[in-house]
Every structure is written in C-alpha cells, then in structure tokens.
Amino acid sequence: MLQFAWPWNFLFLPIPYVARRFGAPAPVREEGALEVPFVEDFMGGALADAPREHRPRWLMALAVGAWVLLVCAAARPEWLGEPTDLPASGRDLMLAVDLSGSMQTRDFVIEGQPVDRITVARRVGAEFIRRRVGDRTGLILFGAQAYLQAPLTLDRETTATLLEEAVIGLAGKETAIGDAIGLAVKRIRESPQDSRALILVTDGANTAGSVAPLTAARLAADEKIRIYPIGVGADEMTIRTFFGARKVNPSEDLDEPTLTAIAEMTGGRYFRAKDSARLEEIYRLLDELEPVAREVNVYRPKRALFHWPLGLALLLAVFLTLRRHWGGGWP
C-alpha cells in the first residue's frame, strides 16, 4: 500500500499559481526602441506568430509537473509491506560465561576430537542465543573480573558473535562468580519481573571478586531474577605421565554445592554438563522456559520512495533550465 508520511506538504501545491496570479510583476528595464516606419511589412511575418496563445504549452506543463513531483517527494511517499507479527516471548536472558584459565582443559569431545571447555561453551551458547527469537539477550564474560560484553538487545547475531570471539584470559585467569552475578543483577533489574533470567556457565569455584556468590544470589532473589548455573567439565579423563596413563577428575574444583544453593535461592535450577551432548541438552531444556505473555506487536516494513519523484523533478528542472538558456526561452 502506498502512503505519504507527511501529506500536509501538499498544501504547497498552489504556491506557484498564487505567486503568478497575485504577485507583483517583475520590473521591466527601459531600453532603447527602434522605430520601423514600415512595420506593416512585418505583420505577416515573424510577429504574426508571437501571440502567447500560439506558443507551445508543453513546456509549461513540464514546469508544472516538476513542481508537483517536488511536492510529492517532500510529502515522503512510502510503500507499506504486509503486516507481520513480531515473535516476542518477553524474556530478558543474560548469559554469563567463565573465561578463567581452567576453561582451557581439554576434557570435551566434538566429532571425535578432544576440545577445551571454552570451545564447547562458545559453540553451544552461541547456538542457544540465535534460537531465542524475540528475546533480549546479553553477555557477561568473567574471570578475575566481570565485564559486560553485550547489553540486553534484540540483536541476537551480535551477541552470539561476541561470545564466539571470547578468549581465555580476556577477563583474568581466576573466577569471580559473585561479581558476575552482581553485574547481571545491575543490568537486568529494570526488566519486567517475570522475564528476568541469568544463565551462569562456569567450571570452578569463586576465587576472586569483591562479592561472595551467595550474597550476590540473595540480591538476585530480591530482584526476582532466576539463575540457572551450569557446571561444565568431565568427571573423569585420562592423562599420560612419565609413569604411564592414569585417570583424574578434571572437575574436582567445581563448587557444586554453592551453584546448587544459588539455583535454589533464586528459583532456578542447577545443571551439570559432563560432555558436549549434555550441554546441548541443557540449553534445549532452557529453551522450554515458559514465555511471558506480552501484547502482540505488529510490524509493517516501510520502503521509502521519495527519491523517484525527486529525481524526476530534478531532471525536468535541468531540462527546462538548459532550454531557457540555449533553446529559446520559456513559453
């Protein structure tokens, strides 16, 4: 459907007529005159074609058309597309990902190849973010300090890309779980109460920061923010030493009691991801969070069309100007 964003500009259409009809004529310069005693000899010649009514009127029509096109461009024509319902679940999801040194442990497997924890966390987390159509997602990266990498936004692609570009050591080698929760509380406390959620991905215990994890969790509970901690890391892996291969627990530093308490305190749930398949399953479970009902928003795409009448008006103006100077004047 065609519409004009500023239709009141059509009020300018009669301006040229009003100016010509009621405006004062331009002063005529007095010039010398040539008296021709035998003027009757010219009456049947060139002067016979001079009356205005015999002059071509198509030039005037072009001038009027140029003015109409210019006014149409000023009224800003737009083409409205079909109305589309915006999918919105109404959730504000903040993802906090651990970038401490232990996330380099290669105890996960993807396509038969051993990979480190951060690689799996980036890959599966980015896929999760891209699936959250209609949600606002944000990203916090934490190590010894916690940093807001992406504020809550509907631009899921940018948030996912920032997660994929995260590297170990970007925020320090230690783990500040409490600071990450505190920063998330600060960033999403203004969201609607039923839509606030934090997904916390870590593989260790709180070893840095100025806020204890349980203290930060109490703040989150007061703000009605649900926290879903995910403890990542295998519980068994084989390492080779000088004395041969032996099995170790690479996740012995994971503070599961604290993560479980954080989830219970805030009304969330603690998940344990011992391999990449389990981590993907956890994110699928998180996809099933019940959305918050919101008023449906309808979006109609708009495509600006003003450049077409504006371009035609300029072409006509150029043509008329050139004809006036080199082609014989106005009608």
State residue 176's pLDDT score: 94
Least confident of 4-13, 61-70, 92-101, 188-197: 188-197
Q: What pTM was computed for the model?
A: 0.62
Confidence of residue 319 (pLDDT cuts 50, 70, 90): confident
Whether 302 shows a pLDDT value over 50: the answer reads yes
Q: How far apart are CA 202 and CA 175, in angstroms?
A: 8
172 sits in the region (left: phi over 0; alpha: psi -120 to 50; else beta) called left
Q: Cβ neighbours of residue 43 under 8 Å, at least 6 residues apart?
A: none
The C-alpha atoms of residue 263 and residue 217 are separated, in whole angstroms, by 8
- Superfamily of chain region 92-287: von Willebrand factor, type A domain (3.40.50.410)
153-166 residue pLDDT tens: 989 999 999 999 99
Amino acid at 263: A
What integer pLDDT is reported at residue 3 of this predicted model? 86
